Amino acid sequence: MAVEVGQALKILKDEKYKLTKQRKSLVDYLAEHQQRYVDVTKVDEYLRQLYPGMSHNTIYRNLKEFEEIGIVEMHVKNDQMQVKFQCDYKHMHHHHFVCSNCGLVQEIEMCPIDMTFFDQQLPGAEIDGHRFELYGLCAECKKQQNLNA
């Protein structure tokens, strides 16, 4: 985990962001929860407990900036914005399997999307990114489900 925190702090520094104690706390918190998406409201609650004067806007702005520079990944689940620490700095283009039961996030290293398909479906369009997530039960939750059946 220390390597990921160090990489994230280096990215912040390289992108000319000040390494404030609030940003460091945000990176540390996300690194502690890197195997799962965390509701942004929980991140907000945690940081506001540590830094009572910190505003909601500052927290959300930092999360958005972290996403833009590749430190975190964000998605929406049940109308709730969620965030997780970037799981692979070497391969920024990657996809996930998310356990519907425990929330475990596992990286899928290969891309299952054939972009030439979109050339046929969206002629003249320029695609600059995509997301792909699979949902289901992780091996451990599936095993528990079978034991309880």
Residues 43 and 83: beta-carbon distance below 8 Å: yes
- The answer to whether 93 is annotated as binding is yes
- The answer to whether 111 is annotated as binding is no
Sign, Cα dihedral of 47, 58, 37, 31: negative
Q: What angle do CA 112, 80, 44 make, to 5 degrees?
A: 115
- Distance between CA atoms of residues 121 and 127, nearest Å: 12
Q: What angle do CA 47, 49, 11 make, to 5 degrees?
A: 15
- The answer to whether 99 is annotated as binding is yes
- The answer to whether 138 is annotated as binding is yes
Single out the residue of 104, 70, 100 nearest to residue 86, CA to CA. 70
Residues annotated in a binding site for Zn(2+)? 99, 102, 138, 141
Residues annotated in a binding site? 93, 99, 102, 130, 138, 141
Residues annotated in a binding site for Fe cation? 93, 130
